[in-house]
Amino acid sequence: MNQTADILNWHAKHAWQPFTQMKLSAPPVIIDRAEGLYLIASDGRKIIDAVGSWWVSIHGHNHPDIVNAVQKQLNALDQVMYAGFTHEPAARLSHRLSEKTNGHLPRAFYSDNGACAVEIGLKMAFQYFVNCGRPEKSKFITLENGYHGDTIGTMSTGARSVFHKMYEPLLFPVFTAKGPDQEGAIDSLRQILESNSHEICGLILEPIIQGAGGMIMYSPSYLKEARTLCDQHDVFLIADEVFTGFGRTGSFFACEQAQIWPDIMALCKGLSAGVVPFAATLASEKVYQGFYSDDRSHTLFHGHSMTANPAGCAAANASLDLIDDTCMTQIKWIESWNQENLRTLCAGRASSLIRTTRQMGSVAAMEIALNSGYTGSFSPNFRERCVEKGLLVRPLGNIVYLCLPYITERSELDRIYEILEETIVEFGG
């Protein structure tokens, strides 16, 4: 039996992959295993995973501490209904996440993916005001270029991009403020709140970095002012830290760079380091008390069969153990190495092909001087060419970015930039 041929045949006949035009996509690379920064293909090739496999593998692949924690948990308890029952990994994780927010967000509601974590946050904000007898406060403010997921709620509160435009008839209306990197951004937000706060329950945003919108980075001062405006107008601040949380920006949570805390925070990706699908929505005590009632109709009506899965909780606890001072120092080193490599890249053979660069924490991005949108051919073609050379990247349109695991070494990062320069020059020629 030719296993490779079988896998590719099964894939071609039965698979349907996310954000992939299956008719136009090349046959996939079969990955047998992974270790650290590397994916090992079935043909023996080693591929550097420079995007953390969609931003989740913050500690690299198959980190032994996380794998061992999950295996140990599975030997004791695999799953139990998280309603009327609890277990040590969930209770401990809830306590630790509260501690990581300095007690500002002491309540944790668990789910299994980032979009759901955000969706839960939207439902919390909406239902809070219903429970409090103020159902007119039912709408949200979102920011230009924002992205929060692909459920109906998260699409509604994200930018009407190419990803979501065709679903417009399904989406509910929102107020849209200028992107946080734009001139007049705070004035735009202030005007919306001053005119409409009586019908607004929440402002949702990605702190410091708008990820899928193009790795757009902005000043912490915007967050600080947004926090103040939300307080003035009795509007909940919902922070989507699905991407930015757990050290990504150089601080444990991105919100900390502005020295503020939201009312609701969505977490995923780095929470379990991609080992087990797992997510959390953290809430302030004020939000929680809006549901804590003798009236059963005030219950938060949301749930998942796999809520607080013990293996997911074990992975999250193990991931938290790894984000210590040494880890945060390594992120600062990666930030410094990115700065150096981006300067070198912009002074070398690819200089005329790079419009702008930006970096923060373990994230770096460069805009390639090609007019290629999210549905253009540049991204898949560039990705394929890089994979051939042993590097996994996945451009957002003409934005080539790195989202590096915290274990990345200087020599590995230098090799990544060598491949990027070579490939950018090829495409520019």
Q: Using one digit for the tens of pLDDT, what is the confidence trace for 98-109?
A: 999 999 999 999
The two structure tokens encoding residue 57: 């593998």
Q: Judge whether 184 lies within some domain.
A: yes
Residue 158 falls inside a structural domain: yes
DSSP-H helix ranges across 148-289: 152-156, 185-196, 220-232, 285-289
pLDDT tens-digit readout, 303-313:
989 999 999 99
Domain count along the chain: 2
- 340 shares a domain with 229: no
Q: Is residue 6 part of a domain?
A: no
- Residue 291's domain is classified under what CATH number? 3.40.640.10
pLDDT at res. 17: 96
299 and 332 co-located in one domain: no
Q: How far apart are CA 365 and CA 31, in angstroms?
A: 26
At 412 the three-state DSSP class reads helix
Has residue 162 got a pLDDT over 90?
Answer: no
Is 335 a residue whose pLDDT tops 80? yes
Residues 262 and 337 in one domain: no
CB 365 within 8 Å of CB 346 = no
Residue holding tokens 């329950």?
201
Q: Considering the domain boundaries, does residue 304 fall inside one?
A: yes
Task: Please spell the DSSP secondary structure of 55-116, one letter per residue.
Answer: HT-TT-BT-HHHHHHHHHHHTT-S---SSS---HHHHHHHHHHHHHTTTSS-EEEEESSHHH
Token pair of 53, please?
Answer: 């496999």
Q: Choose the most confident range, by mean pLDDT, from 20-24, 156-160, 314-318.
A: 314-318
As a whole number, the mean pLDDT across the chain is: 96
| 8 Å CB contact between 254 and 219 | no
User: Has residue 43 been placed in a domain?
Assistant: no
- List pLDDT tens digits, range 126-152: 999 999 999 999 999 999 999 999 999
In this predicted structure, what is the pLDDT of residue 375? 79
DSSP secondary structure letters along 352-389: GGEEEEEEETTEEEEEESS---TTSSHHHHHHHHHHHT
* Same domain membership, residue 301 and residue 328: no
Domain boundary among 316, 343, 378: 316
* Position 220 in a domain: yes
Domain that holds residue 345: 324-359
251 and 345 inside one domain:
no
Residue 1 has pLDDT above 60, yes or no: no
Looking at the fold, whether 343 and 225 belong to one and the same domain comes out as: no
- 51 part of a folded domain: no
Please report which confidence band the pLDDT of residue 429 belongs to, taking 50, 70 and 90 as the band edges: low
Place 163 in a pLDDT band, splitting at 50, 70 and 90. Answer: confident
Secondary structure of residue 406 in the 3-state scheme: coil
- The answer to whether residue 66 sits within a structural domain is no
What percent of the chain has pLDDT above 70?
100
Determine the pLDDT at residue 371.
78
Task: Report, as an integer, the average pLDDT of 253-268.
Answer: 98
The amino acid at 274: G
pLDDT band of residue 160 (cuts 50, 70, 90) is confident
> Across residues 177-183, what is the average pLDDT?
98
